[in-house]
Amino acid sequence: MAGLGPEGIEFAELHDCFTIAEIVALEDLGFVAKGEGGPYSAAGGTARTGEKPINTSGGLKSKGHPVGATGVAQLCDLVLQIRGEAGERQMPAIRLGAAQKPGRVRRDLRGDDSGGAMTGVVYTETVVHSAPEAFAAEAPYQVLIVTLDEGGRIHRPCSWRTRVAIGDRVVLEETRNGIPFFKKTA
């Protein structure tokens, strides 16, 4: 982040495909300590008038979460704020913001060169009952945020047929329609 730490960021647009995703991103980006994202948000810390305004645009869900365009929309909102052109949403004297948009898994599903699998523990989960067209055949299904054994977190779908709970161990399995799914390990 150009030599800046989280304390240097005045506001941010975070990927909030689910409410918990924004809270996890707050923690993972270092805006708040682990476990404090929910209480911080509930206390107003992420409000437009809060200490660290987050998603002053209304977030992805307010836009209908246009898959593929979400990152561009976040950047446009940052620019509008910095230029002072955000209208009713305008924050005073904003100079520096950040956008966070997770990417897709970019490595072989078998894991690293040692042949290990991508494994981890379920940090949180939610169930999607009404799915976009590409996932309609899979609905209902879970979306997991997994703390990976190798470090970091990733969010991916998990087939409903392999229902998992917070704390369960999972492994990234084969892809369906080009999307990797997690499944519960034995």
Interval 120-176: pLDDT, tens: 888 877 777 666 666 666 667 777 888 888 887 777 777 656 678 888 998 877 565
DSSP secondary structure string for all residues of 138-179: G-SEEEEEEEETTSSEEEEEEEGGG---TT-EEEEEEEETTE
Please say whether the beta carbons of 21 and 145 come within 8 A: yes
| CA-to-CA dists, residue 43 to 59, 90, 126, 140, 156, angstroms | 18, 21, 23, 33, 29
Q: Is residue 170 part of a domain?
A: yes
Is the same domain home to 25 and 95? yes
DSSP state for residue 132 in the 8-state scheme:
-
Is the same domain home to 91 and 127? no
Is the same domain home to 128 and 49? no
Q: Is residue 105 part of a domain?
A: no
Q: Is residue 75 part of a domain?
A: yes
Mean pLDDT computed over every residue of the chain:
78
Lowest mean pLDDT of 32-41, 116-125, 138-147, 174-183, name the range: 174-183
**pLDDT of the residue at 109:** 41
**pLDDT of the residue at 175:** 61
Is the same domain home to 30 and 77? yes
Kindly indicate the confidence band of residue 43, based on its pLDDT and cuts at 50, 70 and 90.
very high
Rounded-to-integer distance, Cα 141 and Cα 14, Å: 23
- Count up the domains in the chain and report the number: 2
Q: What is the CATH number of the domain that holds 127?
A: 2.40.50
Classified as helix, coil or strand, 122 is: strand
Q: Is residue 113 part of a domain?
A: no
**pLDDT of the residue at 103:** 57
Is the same domain home to 88 and 140? no
What six digits make up the tokens of 159?
């087939």
Kindly indicate the confidence band of residue 178, based on its pLDDT and cuts at 50, 70 and 90.
low
Q: Highest mean pLDDT range out of 13-27, 66-80, 102-116, 136-150? A: 13-27
Range of the domain at 140: 119-184
Please say whether the beta carbons of 70 and 15 come within 8 A: yes
CA 38 from chain center: how many Å? 14
